[in-house]
Amino acid sequence: KVVSRENYEDLARWTRESHVSAVVLDIDTEGEELYGGLPVLDELRRLNDGFTLISVSRARSRSVEKNSLSAGADAHFRSPVDVPELRMTLVDSVRRRTVDLERQRSRQHAIESSRFQDFIGASEPMRLVYDAIQQIARSNVNVLIRGESGTGKELAARAIVALSNRA
């Protein structure tokens, strides 16, 4: 679905509420200032890194394209726009962003599912350590934790205290 807007008013809010996947923004049309859409472009990118953002300008200067890309545009086109090229860029960029976001979500999920107290790891040896910590925490015995420097002795001690009824 394609929606056309006449102005930039509440554009950031509208993109969030409408779950927009791409914005093609004419950076020449905001206010009296030349390329007044650049701050809008920057704001849109800061508020939502998840959608594709493409800028359009009538300017032939490479600096306008550079400023647009620096402000967060995924691509920049000069008017008049080659529509098939714009369509191809939009499809590729949306696909790439979708894959990147899914990869980020998967990575975050993997980190969260492999987290135990302050430890991170889901291997079988780490699961054995987690089980041992939980068993010790339920008991009422004194514990001596030994190991080489950097093996996580302090993390284990904190986890035992946090999980025990003496926490």
Distance CA 85, CA 24 (A): 13
β-pair type (115-116, 75-78): unpaired
* Residue range 39-56, pLDDT digits in tens: 888 888 888 878 899 999
pLDDT digits (tens, 9 = 90+) for 120-165: 777 888 888 888 898 888 888 888 999 999 888 999 998 888 888 8
Entry pTM: 0.61
DSSP states of 43-112 = HHHHH-SSSEEEEEES---HHHHHHHHHTT-SEEEESSP-HHHHHHHHHHHHHHHHHHHHHHHHHHHHHH
Please report the pLDDT score of residue 86 as a whole number. Answer: 93
